[in-house]
Amino acid sequence: MILAIDFDGTLCTNRYPEIGEPNEEMINALKTFKSYGDELILWTCRKDERLKEAVEWCKERGLIFDAINENLPRIIKEFGGDTRKVFADYYIDDSNMYSNLSNKTYLYFKKGR
């Protein structure tokens, strides 16, 4: 499963251009997804130095992404290039599907495959 995750307002409180307080429950749930082999894409409007800060902030919390604001290499190969829209099975954003992801939610997603 591929998850595209927003940064501001989702992984942390929205304090852009600063970085807000971490959403520990979301971060821990995403690390669980990753440990089960799911792929994570950081999907954010941040760019340049602000993006680097966000990526480093995530790394410091043990959250490592398979791609950042781009498609996964296998998807790029499948589509013949990196499309403007990031392909994912689910998009997690404070303006979209924002929930308390947990192991229970993970099992719900897996059942839906």
The three state secondary structure string of 3-70 is EEECCECCCECCCCCCCCCECHHHHHHHHHHHHCCCEEEECCCCCHHHHHHHHHHHHHCCCCCCEECC
Write down the pTM of the prediction: 0.84
Q: Give the domains, in start order, of the chain with CATH numbers.
A: 2-111 (3.40.50.1000)
pLDDT digits (tens, 9 = 90+) for 5-23: 999 999 999 999 999 999 9
pLDDT digits (tens, 9 = 90+) for 56-72: 999 999 999 999 999 99
Residue 107 is which amino acid?
L
User: Which residue from 11, 1, 30, 5 is spatially nearest to 86, judged by alpha carbons?
Assistant: 5
Rounded CA gap, 95 and 33, in Å? Answer: 21
